[in-house]
Chains A and B, each alone.
Chain A
Amino acid sequence: GENVEQHPSTLSVQEGDSAVIKCTYSDSASNYFPWYKQELGKGPQLIIDIRSNVGEKKDQRIAVTLNKTAKHFSLHITETQPEDSAVYFCAASKGDDKIIFGKGTRLHILP
């Protein structure tokens, strides 16, 4: 079955700098790649997603890139702010509603 690997598990960046989280997936049939943000005490919330027919998608300070050949996708957060501190999960799906999540990256924004 599908396996999603996520790195790093913890990331600390200075406020205003950029943060990058990387994921790889195993099933070449996967075609939907969402990213979720989980704040303390809350459930995960979708922040951006990308489908396999595009290579990049951007929403304000957040962007996601997808390399289908390498089975690799990444989340980029620019101009980081304190409220970006959270756990981020990447995920992959074959379009059958079942979504497989990575183990998460704890992002710390340092003042």
Chain B
Amino acid sequence: DSGVTQTPKHLITATGQRVTLRCSPRSGDLSVYWYQQSLDQGLQFLIQYYNGEERAKGNILERFSAQQFPDLHSELNLSSLELGDSALYFCASSVSAVMGALANEQFFGPGTRLTVL
């Protein structure tokens, strides 16, 4: 058990809908990262939040957004869903290094499997 929790475990929805995925980081971790994992694309970095502020952006679509709350949990919002958005979505957390210092280990949650029909 990594200490990172994600809900829900599974989510089935229809095209055009909007969903929210939730992540609680390990106790003491200030950084939260979101990744998308599809069959042929490996782990794609979407976005990182550090202590409530957006820190880095990856290949995140404009239809997707995220935020990190004062209690450090994070939510990933996916809207106007398309069939191609079906994937596993992972959240990871780390203590997070100060800008410019060495990267820290990321601890992954169990993931949310999203199926868009």
Interface residue ranges, B against A (CB under 8 Å): 2, 4, 31, 33, 35, 40-45, 48, 50, 55-56, 58, 90, 92, 94, 96-97, 99-111
Q: Which of B31, B50, B58, B102 is close to A32, meaning CB atoms less than 8 Å apart?
A: B102
Residue of A nearest to B108 (CB): A43
Chain B neighbourhood of A49, CB < 8 A: 105
> Do A34 and B105 contact each other (CB < 8 Å), given the known contacts A43-B111, A97-B56?
yes
Chain B neighbourhood of A103, CB < 8 A: 40-42
The answer on a CB contact under 8 Å between B104 and A98 is: no
**Contacts of A27-57 to chain B: CB distance below 8 A:** 31-32, 34, 36, 41-46, 49, 51
The answer on a CB contact under 8 Å between B103 and A100 is: no
Question: Interface residues of A, CB < 8 Å — how many?
Answer: 25
Q: List 17 A-B contacts (CB under 8 A).
A: A34-B106, A43-B2, A43-B90, A43-B110, A44-B43, A44-B90, A46-B107, A89-B42, A95-B101, A96-B103, A97-B48, A97-B50, A97-B97, A98-B56, A99-B103, A99-B106, A101-B45
Residue of A nearest to B44 (CB): A101
Chain A neighbourhood of B31, CB < 8 A: 97
The answer on a CB contact under 8 Å between B109 and A43 is: yes
Chain A neighbourhood of B55, CB < 8 A: 97
Residue of A nearest to B97 (CB): A97
